[in-house]
Amino acid sequence: MMIDATTSHEVLSFMDGSSRYNQIRITPADEELMAFHTPKGIYCYKGMPFGLKTAGTTYQRAIQRIFDDMIHKNVECYVDDLVVKSMK
């Protein structure tokens, strides 16, 4: 589907979401749920770590909201990959 949606465009820019999950902020109320203990103390994540069961879904939902008015017009997204389409 993503490939089919790009066939009528001359220029395609491909982007990959590097460290994508870490860019999504965890609400302060949920930070203590992400806490872990080390010999140097107790720490908690401020951004969503890799490995959470819902990380992929949460990231996909955020991308859909951010690019909502552009998806299927000049942007296509699949998991952490984005394609920006243009004619020239």
Q: What is the mean pLDDT of each run of 10 residues along the chain (88 residues)?
A: 63 80 88 93 91 86 90 83 83
Tally the domains of the chain: 1
Answer whether 0.75 is exceeded by the pTM: no
Task: Give the angle 13-16-21 at the CA atoms, nearest 5°.
Answer: 145
Rounded to the nearest 10°, the torsion over CA 2, 4, 7, 12 is 10
CA–CA separation, 16 and 83 (whole Å): 9
74 with 66: CB under 8 angstroms? no
At 6 the pLDDT is: 62
pLDDT attached to residue 43: 95
Range of 75's domain? 4-86
Residues whose CB is less than 8 angstroms from the CB of residue 45 and which lie 6 or more positions away in sequence, other chains included: 26, 31, 34
Give residue 46's pLDDT: 92
The pLDDT value given to residue 11:
82
CA 13 – CA 36 distance, rounded (Å): 39
Give me the pLDDT at residue 7, please.
67
- The stretches of the chain forming alpha helices (DSSP H) are 28-31, 55-66
What is the model's pLDDT at position 42?
Answer: 95
